[in-house]
Amino acid sequence: MATDKTSFQLVVNGILNENPIFRLVLSMCPAVGISTTVMNGFMLGIAVLFVQVFSSCTIALFKNFIHPRIRIPTYTLTIATWVTVIDMVLAAYLPEAYAKMGIFVKLIVAFAIITMRLEMFASKESVNASFWDGIGMGLGFMFGMMALGFVRELLGLGTILGYDVLGFKPLLFFVLPFAGFFCVGLMMAFFNYIEIVYKRAKRA
Amino acid sequence: MHTIRRILLFFAIVLAVPVSAQAEGLIADQSFGKANNEIVVTFAAAVDRAVVEDPANYLVYEEPDPDIKLELVTVVLSDDQKTATLTFAEPLNVRVGHVVSIDRLVESGGATTFKVVQPYLGYLLSILISALLINNFVFTKYLGLCVFFGTSKRKDTAKGMGLTFTMVIVVSAIMSWFFYQFILKPFDLNFLQIVIFIGLVSLTVQAVDTVLRKVNPALFNAFGVYLVLVIANFVIIAVPLILADNEYNFFESLMLSLGAGGGFLLALYLMSSVRERMELANIPQTFKGVPIAFIVAGQFALAFLGFSGLSLF
């Protein structure tokens, strides 16, 4: 079975229709835990993009040699290998950003989104399609994290990427760790609201 | 009956150790104080206020480093002249024993030396309580949220998931501890941590699945569906990584994994109770389902913040 979507459609699908954070409601832990600034979201997004693309390609390449009964452990070990790679690269080249993300880089190994994409997409499709799907999913995750980071940083600190934009701090509440829950909940409600308004406008 | 008596005896011995380690005679009791930079000493009889309240008469150091003197700021003696509270400039590391020696306390002139050790059982319990409430993995570390939101709709599901999870995490954490201490560390294979730990977790889940299916089919029917979800939970891989980072020993690892599992069970149960009630409530359409669950979780996180100052031992 091969997908009939073009590479562009696959990427857009990952960012919009099946956005990992807001649509599939997967990998919520980093979305709540470390989305306090745009930069954090961007860094973790890069790491996830890397792991997703490389694991997807690896599985798509070897899909005919993997026995169906041991496929889940195989996926897990493949992801673990690529996570180890990105973990060591980040620790060596970007120690400051790595320290901020803490344990979350290592935890990419348990991201439901990556395993799910391997099971649902990469194990059936060609290497090329899996590559673009991986890019789409990674970018979708990055987009979600950065959107959350943008809202929290702007409302909490009045800055974007560390630059002072507003000149004052509207709601310090939003950078506090537990506010991640409220922020994600409110943003989801916001997207739901847009959808409802959009449907109503369509009907009228 | 015999086993229970033996266990009780074990606890009695563990509890008795700090008591027997006290200095004889003048010092009746010593312990770390309520604040993290205090030591409280109780004397058997009233002592000389001028001697005891002078910080210059004291010499305090951590047992492993006798060369590093800890800076003592004030000593306050209680009104009955029997209890002295020593306040230090910096917080004490209560995990190691502290040696305190007081000059000129007795008439003959020599120093009175004694050791302050935290009761080990209390320390283990404090790890458990910390993982359970103060650093609850769901509400203060934000781990395991996907499974948390997925399985907290019904109380039955929440209980099943929580129990299965606790069982698996204790087994896998202990296995990870053995692997880390006896294979990864001696052979310098620390970079394989992630691969080994996730592999062990998958193996444990698979093993529990197989054993449960054969040994107790009824239990398997009840809990089998949650086993697959366990592996997608961050907490289960975070616990071995924390154990390895902090170099915990066997009992500490056991307590941390029990606390992590119990904390997850507690969080799930609390959340499912609220969500069952919420189905009857009139919620705005935009907030229905997941968004309102997030808001509720945020309120729980706020409430759990209140545990942060808790110290029992």
- With CA atoms as reference, the chain A residue closest to B238 would be A107
The nearest CA of chain B is from the CA of A183 a distance in Å of 8
Chain A residues whose CB is inside 8 A of the B206 CB are 73
Q: Mean pLDDT, consecutive 10-residue segments, chain A of 204 residues?
A: 70 77 73 80 89 92 84 86 91 86 81 82 86 89 87 83 76 80 87 86 80
DSSP state of B184: I
Mean pLDDT over all residues of chain B? 81
Chain B residues whose CB is inside 8 A of the A179 CB are 298
Residue B243: strand, helix, or coil: helix
Q: Is B292 in the A-facing interface, judged by CB distances under 8 Å?
A: yes
* pLDDT over 60 at B12, yes or no: no
- Give me the amino acid identity at B220: F
Q: Is B141 in the A-facing interface, judged by CB distances under 8 Å?
A: yes
**pLDDT number for residue B217:** 84
Chain A residues whose CB is inside 8 A of the B237 CB are 106-107, 109-110
φ, ψ at B35 (rounded to 5°): -75, 160
Task: Kindly tell me the burial class for residue B223, based on how many C-beta atoms sit within 10 Å of its own C-beta (0-12, 13-18, 19 or more).
Answer: buried
How many residues would you count in chain A?
Answer: 204
**pLDDT number for residue A64:** 86
Residue A176's nearest CA partner among A160, A153, A159, A147 is A153
Put simply, the answer to whether B195 touches A80 (Cβ < 8 Å) is yes
Tell me the fold of B2-118.
Answer: Immunoglobulin-like (2.60.40)
Q: Is B144 in the A-facing interface, judged by CB distances under 8 Å?
A: yes
Residues 6 or more apart whose CB falls under 8 angstroms from that of B268 comprise: B148, B151, B152, B158, B159, B161, B162
Task: Kindly tell me the burial class for residue B298, based on how many C-beta atoms sit within 10 Å of its own C-beta (0-12, 13-18, 19 or more).
Answer: buried
Chain B residues whose CB is inside 8 A of the A19 CB are none
Interval B9-28 mean pLDDT: 56
- Distances in Å between the Cα of B312 and the Cα atoms of B127, B268, B304 are 11, 25, 16
**Contact in structure between A27 and A112 (CB atoms under 8 Å):** yes
Answer with the residue of higher pLDDT: B28 or B197.
B197
Chain B residues whose CB is inside 8 A of the A200 CB are none
The nearest CA of chain B is from the CA of A37 a distance in Å of 16
**pLDDT number for residue A72:** 79
The token pair at B233 is: 């939970």
> Cα–Cα distance between A167 and A173 in angstroms, integer?
17
pLDDT in tens, B38-86: 888 888 888 888 788 888 888 888 877 777 888 888 888 888 888 888 8
Q: Is B207 in the A-facing interface, judged by CB distances under 8 Å?
A: no
* pLDDT over 80 at B176, yes or no: yes
Helices A127-157 and A38-62: crossing angle in degrees, nearest 10, is 170
- With CA atoms as reference, the chain B residue closest to A23 would be B290
Confidence of residue B264 (pLDDT cuts 50, 70, 90): very high
> Cα–Cα distance between B247 and B262 in angstroms, integer?
22
> Cα–Cα distance between B142 and B129 in angstroms, integer?
18
Question: Do the strands B38-43 and B98-102 form a parallel or antiparallel pair, or are they unpaired?
Answer: unpaired
DSSP state of B123: H
Put simply, the answer to whether B285 touches A196 (Cβ < 8 Å) is yes
Put simply, the answer to whether A178 touches B139 (Cβ < 8 Å) is yes
Q: Which residue is it, tokens 């997409």?
A: A121
**Contact in structure between B275 and B156 (CB atoms under 8 Å):** no
**pLDDT number for residue A53:** 93
DSSP state of B132: I
Q: Is B136 in the A-facing interface, judged by CB distances under 8 Å?
A: no
> Cα–Cα distance between B222 and A39 in angstroms, integer?
44
Answer with the residue of higher pLDDT: A17 or B20.
A17
**pLDDT number for residue B273:** 93
Put simply, the answer to whether B286 touches A179 (Cβ < 8 Å) is no
CATH 2.60.40.1220 domain range(s) in chain B? 2-118
Query: How far, in whole angstroms, is CA B231 from its chain's centroid?
Result: 23
Residue A89: strand, helix, or coil: helix
Query: How far, in whole angstroms, is CA B194 from its chain's centroid?
Result: 23
Q: Is B189 in the A-facing interface, judged by CB distances under 8 Å?
A: no
**pLDDT number for residue A1:** 44
- With CA atoms as reference, the chain A residue closest to B230 would be A110
pLDDT in tens, B105-129: 776 667 778 777 777 787 888 888 8
Chain A residues whose CB is inside 8 A of the B264 CB are none
Put simply, the answer to whether A110 touches B141 (Cβ < 8 Å) is no
**Contact in structure between A138 and A56 (CB atoms under 8 Å):** no
The token pair at B43 is: 């004397």
**Contact in structure between B293 and B275 (CB atoms under 8 Å):** yes
A-to-B residue pairs, Cβ atoms closer than 8 angstroms: 116
Q: Is B297 in the A-facing interface, judged by CB distances under 8 Å?
A: yes
* pLDDT over 80 at B233, yes or no: no
> Cα–Cα distance between B60 and A173 in angstroms, integer?
42
Buried/exposed B267-289: b ≥16 CB within 10 Å, e otherwise: bbebbbebbeeeeeeeeeebbee
Confidence of residue B19 (pLDDT cuts 50, 70, 90): very low
Please report which residue ranges of B21-144 form alpha helices under DSSP H.
49-52, 120-129
The token pair at A114 is: 């990556």
Residue B201's nearest CA partner among B233, B244, B226 is B233
